[in-house]
Amino acid sequence: MRLHRKLLGQDFAHSWEYRAETPVAAPRGTRVLIEDPDGADAFAYWRLLTDNGYEAQWCPGPEGHLGGRCPLLTSGHCDLVEHADVVVSSLGIDNVPSRKIVGAIKRLYPKKPVVIQASQREVERWANLMDGSRVLPTPVTRRALLGSVEGVLAHRN
């Protein structure tokens, strides 16, 4: 698979090609949780991260769970968040459930690095939620996603 476009997301997911000549990087043991309701976007992020040596898992957020319930919000515990080294939240900070999830992660796992995908307008509007997190600006590029994950990992110690 070659990256034909710089932007990740739906257009990118539709342009997958098998890349047999390029081996997948050896796992670093760093686990990244991708929270994104769009399976195409999540797959693009997952593929980029795994191609660069990360272990990645995906959660579609509350809309993807049966009954629209997030275990982190209903029980105060989520195995995916607990076992992740980094959480990339692309749920849309403008919606209430997403803000509750980010708030719960910060409250229940205060040392957990969080990357929040947001536009400049969202960053300005929800600045209080961004404190202590790294912002992944939209539109998302390969360099921005990998740089955001590397950046929060470098500053977590």
**Whole-number pLDDT of residue 157:** 59
Residue 42: inside a domain? yes
Confidence class for position 28, pLDDT limits 50, 70, 90: low
Q: Over the stretch 96-110, which tens digit does the pLDDT of each residue have?
A: 999 999 999 999 999
Residue 53: inside a domain? yes
DSSP 42-109: HHHHHHHHHHTT-EEEEE--GGGSGGG--HHHHHS--HHHHH-SEEEE-S-TTSHHHHHHHHHHHHH-
Residue 23: inside a domain? no
Q: Please, what is the average pLDDT of the chain? A: 83
- In which element (H, E) is residue 154 found? helix 142-154
The CATH number of the domain where 128 resides is what? 3.40.50.2300
Residue 1: inside a domain? no
Entry pTM:
0.81
For residues 104-121, give the mean pLDDT.
Answer: 95
Residue 104: inside a domain? yes
**Containing domain of residue 65, as a range?**
10-15+28-154
Domain count within the chain: 1
Residue 4: inside a domain? no
Measured distance CA(100)–CA(23) in Å, rounded: 39
Residue 71: inside a domain? yes
